[in-house]
Amino acid sequence: MPFITVGKENSGNIDLYYEDHGSGKPVVLIHGYPLSGASWEKQLPVLLNSGHRVITYDRRGFGNSSQPTEGYNYDTFAQDLQQVVTHLKLRDFTLVGFSMGGGEVARYLGKYGSQGVSKAVFISSVPPFLVKTADNPEGVDRSVFDGIAKAVAADRYAFFTEFFKNFYNADVFLGKRISEQALRASWNVAAGASATASLACVPTWYEDFRQDVARIDIPTLVLHGDADRIVPLNAAGARTAKLIKGARLVVVKDGPHAINWTHADEVNTELVNFLGKGQPGRAESPAPKEAVA
């Protein structure tokens, strides 16, 4: 398995697991909490068939990456992403962030600028600023996040069971757009994450990305479900789209947080249309429209 070393903790390396498939214009897919790069399985074949090189990686503390007890903040996450980009020598690439991953996209562009980055995509993402404050009345009351932190600290396994019900809006879509087995698979990935990371990532949702988002000067697509119970549309995606000049907002009707799974066809169609064709796909690959039908 390929890894990129991004730091050290005492005597051990901090390594990020990544996958790098296909050819053409690169697309970097950044996963959400508490999953891994494998959560993009419904997007991977479609993007490959439309002629793109697709890179996924596991955030520190999650998936197959190292599980250090430090570095769980967005400056470090953006630096980790920058090391992935540098290691793979990416040029003219698109950054796609889901949920927490949208924070990496925003902070990367805010910190390092858009040189080399051709486009950005935010899917159910946490920017621009989730917490309700005097100058951010559209946000979510901080007590909600404090409650999440207490639940994770008390019993993260029980927390994940309840969390994924709202992640997928299971009361609406279980047995229709997501199976019991797929729900269990997500729980298994979350259970394998670092206990430290599972708790330490919760306060990162307080991060204020407004200045980062204001720096974005490349074509941007924002995808968000109007039934998102984790990151509400009006507190996040709708505002991000307003803050980025020329950004396109696509609201997925009845979409929960995990629209990349439950509404994969709609998400994939929008992604392919926004990214355009990379280069001819593999032999006998279906055309993009057929791939997402």
Q: Which of the residues are catalytic? A: 99, 228, 257
Distances (CA, A) of 151 to 145, 147, 179, 181, 229: 10, 6, 25, 24, 17
Which residues in 32-65 are b (16+ Cβ under 10 Å) and which e? bbbbbbbbbebbbbbbbbbbbbbbbbbbbbbbbb
Of 75, 69, 72, whose CA–CA distance to 208 is shortest?
A: 75
Residue 232 one-letter amino acid? P
Residue 110 makes CB contacts below 8 A (sequence gap 6+) with 209, 211, 212, 213, 215, 216
Tell me how far apart the terminal alpha carbons of the chain are, to the nearest angstrom: 32
- Between CA 59 and CA 81 the distance in angstroms is 9
- Between CA 72 and CA 28 the distance in angstroms is 20
CA 166-107-152 angle, 5° bins: 35
Q: Return the residue matching tokens 């290691």.
A: 87
What tokens were used for 128?
A: 């621009």
DSSP 217: -
DSSP 25: E
Helix (H/G/I), strand (E/B), else coil: 30: strand
